[in-house]
Structure 1
Amino acid sequence: MRLLPEPAPETLTLASVLDALGDPVRLQLVRRAAANPGLTCAVADLNVPKSTLTNHWRTLREAGVVRMAVDGRCRRIWLRTDELQDRFPELLDVILRLSAAEGSVEPVLSGAA
């Protein structure tokens, strides 16, 4: 597997991380990555075009929230939990806990009426 470029931990900024996490779809993707380390970038049950989903993953990677590796024809994703914890203690835990409790950040699922 080949890792895609990502910012160095010491260059991560609070503004870029919070900006990346400020979108409801990206926040849902981060929650999924937290629950399933190494998941693929294809998320079948989100009502989001593939190009938009790709852009969301790129935004998260460029902000330093996730690490991506090329695995054949797909990408594998992991949260950069340790780097984020070192740089911004407790931030990711608080955001994940609050977003799970809020419940309104869930994107529309395909097939839902």
Structure 2
Amino acid sequence: MTDVPFIRSGTGSTPAEGGCWMQVIDWTAHDGSWTDAPDCVHPVIRSLGIAINDRLPDDKRQVLLEPRFTYRAMGTNTGDEILTRKLLGYLARQVYPIYAEWKKSAGYEDNGSVLDCIQAAERGEA
């Protein structure tokens, strides 16, 4: 990619001042368009991408420009409902250990219903 805007934390008003990873993806995919909600990126991946973008330091954030990240994010918004469920299931699985620790310390019992929902989402069934 040549002349690609600098990736920064938060959104930028113009490509000249740089913008978040999603703005750069939109700029790349749509010949200069400039929004942090590119229609070619799945909403779950977009939300995760924005969180990653804003938490990385400037020098590390530029790695997101690499094709293995930018081009792989493009084209993921296919409207596939099963993909959405699987992505949400995957993300829920990542935070489940925190929830499990909380429920143990709080004495809360969900009889496995939360884990059952996560597993169903991972299968694309929830």
Shorter-chain TM-score above 0.5: no
Bigger relative contact order, structure 1 or 2, given CA contacts below 8 A and separation 6+?
1
Instruction: Kindly indicate which of the two structures has a greater share of residues assigned to helix.
Output: 2
In the superposition, the TM-score normalised over structure 2's length comes to: 0.29
In the superposition, the TM-score normalised over structure 1's length comes to: 0.31
